A and B are shown apart, each in its own frame.
Chain A
Amino acid sequence: MEWDLTSNHDPSNLTFILQQSSDASFDSSIVRYEGPDQATYLSGLAAGNYFFRVMAEGPQSAALSSWSQPFELQVVFVGTHQVILLSLIGLAGFTILVVSIMVGHRLSQREPKVLSS
């Protein structure tokens, strides 16, 4: 997630605060980032809707801007049925592969004389 200044302030002296909330009114929120960077990488959110807003502060924690317009993010995961089906296929494929190599290895150890003749 990236943000920028609309005014002409030097961003190097500023602190940016990024808030995250599950409701647009930000009644209950957490600070996801506080520092000089103008971007952060978000990962690991659970499925659902999230709202984010940013504010800039000056050197003495003086608010330089009001909160930005909230940005809404929707996190959607792959469907459960698809995950279960593909996981079962993967497990079956892995089991067949391991068994095939182990059986092939065991059987092949019985035929060295045939190969070297």
Chain B
Amino acid sequence: MSDGAITLLDPRLGWALLCLFGLLWVFLGWYWGRRASSVDDFLLAGRKVGLALGTATAMATWVTSNTVMLAPVFALEKGLWGMVAYSTASFGLFLFAPLSRRIRTLMPEGHTSGDFMRLRYGKWAWYLFLVISMVYSVAWLVSMGTAGGKLMETLAGIPYFHGVTAILLVCVIYTLFGGMYAVIGTDFIQSAIILAGVLLVGSLVVIRTDLRALYDTMAVEQPSLINALMPVALLSLFNNMFFGFGEVFHNNVWWSRAHAMRAEVAPRAFFLSGLLWFPIPIAAGFIALSATSLGVNVIDPNTVGPLVAGQVLGKLGAVLVFVVVFCSLASSIDSLLAATSDLLLQDLGKKILGISSEPSRFRLYSKFIIILLGFLTWVLCALEMDLLQILFLSGPLVASAIWPIIAGLYWNRAHWLAAVLAMLLGSALGLWAYFQIGWYTASLISAVVSMAVIFVSVPFCRQTFDWKKLHE
């Protein structure tokens, strides 16, 4: 039996690993960042990222600390369907593959997802979209920072706020040095470590688990976890899927990657990254499911994955988990910092506030925004908010943007008013469902309402959009 309060690693070893990998990322960020000579280089890595780097950056960005922490929580609370439900977030990457081809065709010189909303639907849809995107991006950053701080505390006894500060500091510094070049370069190494680490830990736990005993224990103590008709698990399957679609389709993290990759590479890279990502929540979830039969007492479900890995595999397992967690944190926080600063600078700064686009100043502003975002995240992380609540509250907002984006990319008769109403009504009813029914329905309701508004509006739209307007 274990005590959740006892840490798995010596704090000195934890700090040593944190410093070692932190310095490595900062050095690599500086090294790769030297290639960024223009604004396009800094923000979009010169728009010529190839298949291997493109696949790795998409996969690594999508493996967040939330994946490492929440996939096991899903498995622990919702069983087998919970594991599958979390894995459906990879469907967002699969379906973004064809969208990325369309994005590159329609907007060969585009920068952000905000550019698309502004040019396709006009200012009101654009403003609303920016609000949704910023709320989600900050929520994602804060949830990652919070998860990272808690994991560092659980694994190595590093005080929560010290862990958050160290992680954010490292990510801000190397993103500042190298922009998108640094982000994509480090993502490549981080994705290899994450994939190898999670699959290794998952495999070792499977080898050391008596599957018959696991099934028998669960049948007696946790029968709902192996029930194929567990109600909340079934609902969370679709809810998570639509949440994932909303996250990927709308966020500038993915649009900036679509613009950064070579046009012919982007669809294949997104599809491959989805394939590589799919087994990760299942491996992480299985680790949590085995907790009861392995005799590991779980006190805080948010830390079940690292706790089981550390208990079963000893110090090696704890070190592996620590490194995987740090890589998954860094690979997502850097991407989000770079893409969100790009969105703020291009859309809010350049288009709304009219700041100078002179290259040296523009790059300076970009760095200032990265620091500002890092600081804002650091302050909000101090509140230690509930992880699930942070993440799933933004679900209905992003799910409401799914259909305005699909219709805007493929249909020339999607109207701006329909896009605005779809986002407003989808978000409102999704939030209502979150509080009145349960979080497991919020994104589903939002996406379906948004879809209904778009479909009903099309027959009434008499204007035909000229696709050439997207060439800016």
Stretch at the interface among B36-44, B221-229, B368-376: B221-229
> Scoring B residues 443 to 472 as 1 if CB is less than 8 Å from chain A, else 0, what string do you get?
010011001000000000000000110000
B222 and A78 within 8 A (CB):
no
Residues of chain B in range 284-319 having any CB-CB distance to chain A below 8 Å: 297-301, 304
B223 and A40 within 8 A (CB):
no
A30 and B101 within 8 A (CB):
no
Stretch at the interface among B8-16, B327-335, B353-361, B403-411: B403-411
A40 and B299 within 8 A (CB):
yes
> Scoring A residues 30 to 44 as 1 if CB is less than 8 Å from chain B, else 0, what string do you get?
101111110111011
Q: Which of A46, A80, A96, A105 contacts B102 (CB 8 A)?
A: A105
B245 and A97 within 8 A (CB):
yes
Q: Which B residues are closer than 8 A to A by beta carbons?
A: 1-4, 76-77, 79, 95, 98-99, 101-102, 105-106, 218, 220-225, 227, 230-232, 234-235, 237-239, 241-242, 245, 297-301, 304, 402, 406, 409-411, 437-438, 441, 444, 447-448, 451, 467-468
Q: Which of B218, B235, B467 contacts A115 (CB 8 A)?
A: B467
A93 and B227 within 8 A (CB):
no
Count of chain A residues with Cβ under 8 Å from any Cβ of B? 42
- In the complex, which residues of chain A have a beta carbon less than 8 angstroms from the beta carbon of B304? 41
Check if A73 is an interface residue, CB within 8 A of chain B: no
- In the complex, which residues of chain A have a beta carbon less than 8 angstroms from the beta carbon of B218? 44
- Select the residue from B235, B300, B304 with max chain A CB neighbours within 10 A: B235
CA distance A20 to B4 in the complex (A): 21
CA distance A79 to B155 in the complex (A): 39
Check if A62 is an interface residue, CB within 8 A of chain B: no
CA distance A1 to B2 in the complex (A): 16
Query: Taking the nearest CB of chain B, how far is it from the CB of A56, in angstroms?
Result: 15
B223 and A90 within 8 A (CB):
no
CA distance A31 to B467 in the complex (A): 66
B451 and A96 within 8 A (CB):
yes
The 5 A-B residue pairs with the shortest CB-CB distance, nearest first, are A44-B222, A90-B238, A104-B410, A35-B1, A44-B225
CA distance A101 to B131 in the complex (A): 25
Contact A46/B227 with A86-B444, A89-B444, A102-B98 known, Cβ cut-off 8 Å: yes
B299 and A43 within 8 A (CB):
no
A33 and B297 within 8 A (CB):
yes
